[in-house]
Amino acid sequence: MPAEQSANEQTVRRIYDAFNARDIGLLASLFANDCTTTDMGTGRTYTGFAGFMEWVKPFADALPDSTATPVFVIEAGDWIATEHVGRGTQTGTFVTPDGDVPASNRPIEIKFAEFFRLHDGKVAEFRAYWDSGSVVRQMR
């Protein structure tokens, strides 16, 4: 019998569900107004839900059919750690700091490790780790 999910785990799983459904209203409601998003590979930090969406935009534009499927969800205090697999078809340009990758129409799989710190039921801090080199190689 699976263990009962905590409120924080339920919130994080709702984030993936909202992303997959492209329910931006629901997604926004799950983030604190002053949340931070950090792409650990680039070290770039974004502020607020608009910042989170700015981080998501290159993926959403390049892979408009993308989905995110959690593989592991682990909780420690007010942190939720996930490993998820993102899949989609690169039908749009992938914009990166190192140059743009034109649409290839190839299926892409991206593995992420993500960490969510929750406060009062909302994401206060989000950190993402992913292998940009692997993604670009799949697109070329």
- What is the tens place of the pLDDT at every residue in 15-55? 999 999 999 999 999 999 999 999 998 999 999 999 999 99
Please tell me the predicted confidence (pLDDT) of residue 130: 95
Residue showing tokens 């998003």: 37
Work out the pLDDT band at 1, boundaries 50, 70, 90. Answer: very low
How distant, in Å, are the alpha carbons of 3, 99, 103, 117 from that of 10? 12, 37, 35, 13
d(CA 119, CA 125): 9
**3-class secondary structure, 56:** helix
Asked if residues 73 and 4 have their Cβ atoms less than 8 Å apart, the reply is: no
Please tell me the predicted confidence (pLDDT) of residue 49: 98
Geometric angle at alpha carbon 85, from 82 and 56, rounded to 5°: 85
Domain regions of the chain by residue span: 7-139
Q: How many CA atoms lie within 13 A of 52 on its CB side?
A: 23
Q: CATH assignment of 7-139, given 3.40.630.10, 3.10.450.50, 3.10.130.10, 3.40.140.80? A: 3.10.450.50
d(CA 24, CA 4): 27
